[in-house]
Chain A
Amino acid sequence: MLWRALLGRTGISLVTLWVVSVLIFIGTNLLPGDIAQIILGQMATPENTAVLRAKLGLDKPVVEQYLVWLQNVMMGDLGISKAGLGAGLGTPIVEMLGPRVYNTARLTILVSVIAIPLALFLGLMAAMHPGTKLDRTITFTTLNLISVPDFLVATTLVLIFAVSLGWLPSIVYLRGNESGWLLIKTLAMPILTLVILVSSQIIRMTRATVLNVMSSPYIEMAILKGVPRKKIILRHALFNAIGPIVNVIALNLAWLVGGVVIVEQIFSYPGLAKLMIEAVLLRDMPLVQACAMIFCATYIVLIFIADMATILSNPRLRHPK
């Protein structure tokens, strides 16, 4: 039964990924604007454009273009970036992605390692003492933090730690060989920003999830038979909330995908999201497609994990009638 659910979800995820690839391809190819013309810019003579179109395979039917692109992507060939195209051959995208993916992965993993335990702790604290000063402070602060733009949090932190106190650099300048203290100092600002943003989401949802479980009949039963509050939360509520909480964490890590775009841009962090923004500004379509595919695939994997957590944690979903 469990395997069937797992297989089903995997199937749905794969189909979604395929649909997303179609959407990304349509999005980048069928909208107004001829890519060859955009690439050539002012040098676009009719002959030039025709040659480039043939070179990029743009003269073939759209379906064929898509199939060729999909096949290449599956083989690990993400195409050639526009960067350096004027000088002859462009740079293969796979080469450009390597260090960027490493940087973004490093950032997000560090953020998750810090944010998740912190957020779970605070969220549970708030849920254990609802209505108290502590709970009200936590809910009020996190509500404010999730309502403000990401860049407000980032700019405020820069103003405090980089400009006023001068402790940390306001821009991430990675040479790639930093280690120890210097690396921590360089990464501190983006990590701090993302931790604040992600954990306030997780805190709120953890609190809401646990409180939601708290209003179910069996908890009411436990209250009425006189079980102490702490015991109810730790023994009854928490176990039933684990599934939803894992769900919350996975969804928020997926949300990191969007948050990372802003944060990498503010701190000039050389990650994947910044590469994508640069590609968008340069209209470098193959690169945009590649980055978008990576982000969407990550997102879909995380949603898949969230789904699986929901199924695994709920016996009724685990053994459907």
Chain B
Amino acid sequence: MSDTSQNTNPVTQFDELPDAPPKRKIKLSLPGKIGIGVVIFWAIIVIIGPTISPYHEADILDEELFIVPGSDEMYPDTDFQPPSKIVWLGSDYLGRDTLSRILFGARTTIGISLIATLLAYLIGVTLGIAAAVGSRFMDMALSRVNDALLAIPSIMFALVVIAALNSPTIPWLILITGIIYACSVFRIARSLGQEVMVSDFVEAARVRGEGLWWIITREILPNIAMPLATDFGLRFVWIILFISSLSFLGLGVQPPASDWGSMVKENLPGLVYGSFAPLIPALAIATLTISINMIVDDISAHSGGKLAKRMIS
């Protein structure tokens, strides 16, 4: 984390100096590149998914669609059908098109997770920096409350709150998840912030007479941005998994809205008949989470590289 690269103007002239820090170029490995491709793919689906989907997410398909031409069967089964020309990825337990539900569900699942992650970051980083720059008392108070909240397994926390609410709505879901994950963001932001606060350049800024706000926005935030960005990726993955798990338990997104986690749950009975309906949404989640982890892995592999690690191999 070089602090020279933060001020935009002088960077060019410092670059020519002999002791200029090496330019950080992130070269991605093959899994990392594939990861970026997949993430972009899902991002596009989030935007245009509902427009390109063949049916509506709640449409229960007509039996007529499934009649094989030439056969005299009047009432064919429509649920848990294997992939065909009518339903590209098969149909679900009510005879709805799995592909359409995946396309609609992308918006629900990814959207909710993204908003929850942003909320967690908003709360966590604000309070974390407040604890890092604030008085000792404030730091103590915030940290103790945070430790207590972290001592509850996140799924338990959510279960207790959801039990108390009569029916979990999406804003509540986002709020609960945001608060739960804000705790771990707080810890990271606080420790990163404290590290920067004791550095020489912050001391220099203070001596220069800069205000607290200036130090926070010009010194602390730029310096903790990169580690936090990596952490954001991981946190986003955990939140997707967390929200999907809640939906899977029937306590997250409620029907008829399609959400990948609840799609797995509602189609679970089809597993016995060998239907892939529960597997497809689970795989959709997996492609997204694995890709993000691959990218994060690639980036963090670059910041390592000690002598022994290289020599021992």
* Interface positions of A (Cβ within 8 A of B): 16-17, 19-20, 23-24, 27-29, 31-33, 38, 129-132, 140, 143-144, 146-152, 155-156, 158-159, 162-164, 170, 211, 214-216, 219-220, 223, 229, 232, 254, 257-258, 261-262, 265-266, 276-277, 279-281, 283, 285, 288-289, 292, 295-296, 299-300, 303
7 tightest CB-CB pairs across the interface, nearest first? A215-B306, A31-B164, A152-B282, A19-B148, A148-B286, A131-B313, A280-B163
Which residues in A have their C-beta under 8 angstroms from that of B159? 261, 276-277, 280, 288, 292
Interface string of B239-251 (1 = CB under 8 A from A): 0010011001111
A25 vs B122: C-alpha distance when bound (angstroms)? 27
* B308→A151 contact, CB < 8 A: no
Q: Are B282 and A33 in contact (CB under 8 A)?
A: no
Residues of A contacting B261 in the complex (Cβ-Cβ under 8 angstroms): 149
Q: How far is the CB of A208 from chain B (nearest CB, A)?
A: 10
Question: B74: CB under 8 A from chain A?
Answer: no
Residue positions of B touching A, CB distance < 8 A: 31, 147-149, 151-157, 159-166, 237, 241, 244-245, 248-251, 261, 264, 268, 271-272, 274, 278-279, 282-283, 285-286, 289-290, 292-294, 297, 306-309, 311-313
Chain B residues contacting A131 (CB-CB under 8 Å) are 313
Assess whether A144 is in contact with B290, with CB atoms less than 8 Å apart: yes
Most B Cβ at <10 Å: residue of A144, A149, A281 = A149
**Partner among B164, B248, B272, B289 whose Cβ is within 8 Å of the Cβ of A147:** B289
A254 touches B160 (CB 8 A): no
Interface centre among A164, A216, A288, A303 (most CB of B within 10 A): A288
Assembly CA distance A258 to B241 (angstroms) = 12
Chain A: minimal CB distance from B90 (Å) = 14
The answer to whether A149 touches B308, judged by C-beta atoms less than 8 angstroms apart, is: no
CA distance A24 to B159 in the complex (A): 10
- Which B residues are CB-close (under 8 A) to A258? 153-156
Given known pairs A149-B286, A163-B274, A215-B306, the reply for A31 and B152 (CB within 8 Å) is: no
Question: Are A261 and B249 in contact (CB-based, < 8 A)?
Answer: yes
B171 to chain A, nearest CB (A): 13
Please indicate the chain B residues that have their CB under 8 angstroms from the CB of A288 in the complex: 159-160, 163
Cβ B271 vs Cβ A170 within 8 A: yes
Report whether B148 and A23 are in contact in the complex, using a CB–CB cutoff of 8 Å: yes
Please give the distance in Å from A133's CB to the nearest CB on chain B. 12
Q: Are B152 and A151 in contact, with the CB atoms below 8 A?
A: no
How far, in angstroms, from A299 to B165 measured CA to CA in the complex? 24
Could you name 13 residue pairs across A and B whose Cβ atoms are closer than 8 Å? A19-B151, A23-B148, A27-B164, A32-B166, A33-B165, A143-B293, A147-B286, A151-B245, A159-B274, A220-B307, A280-B163, A285-B164, A300-B151
What is the distance, in angstroms, from A303's C-beta to the closest C-beta of chain B? Answer: 7
Q: Shortest Cβ distance from A45 into chain B, in angstroms?
A: 19
Task: Specify the chain B residue showing the minimal Cβ separation from A13.
Answer: B151
Q: Are A143 and B297 in contact (CB under 8 A)?
A: yes
Known: A143-B294, A143-B297, A295-B156. A20 touches B245 (CB 8 A): no
CB distance from A257 to the nearest CB of B (A): 5
| Known interface pairs A27-B161, A144-B286, A229-B312; 12 further A-B residue pairs with C-beta atoms within 8 A, sorted by A's residue number | A19-B148, A28-B164, A32-B166, A130-B313, A147-B286, A149-B282, A149-B289, A150-B241, A214-B309, A283-B163, A292-B159, A296-B152
A9 → chain B, closest Cβ, in Å?
13
Q: Give chain B residues whose Cβ lies under 8 Å from the Cβ of A261.
A: 155, 159, 245, 249
Tell me, rounded to whole Å, the shortest Cβ–Cβ distance linking A308 to chain B.
Answer: 16
Say yes or no: B249 contacts A38, CB within 8 Å: no
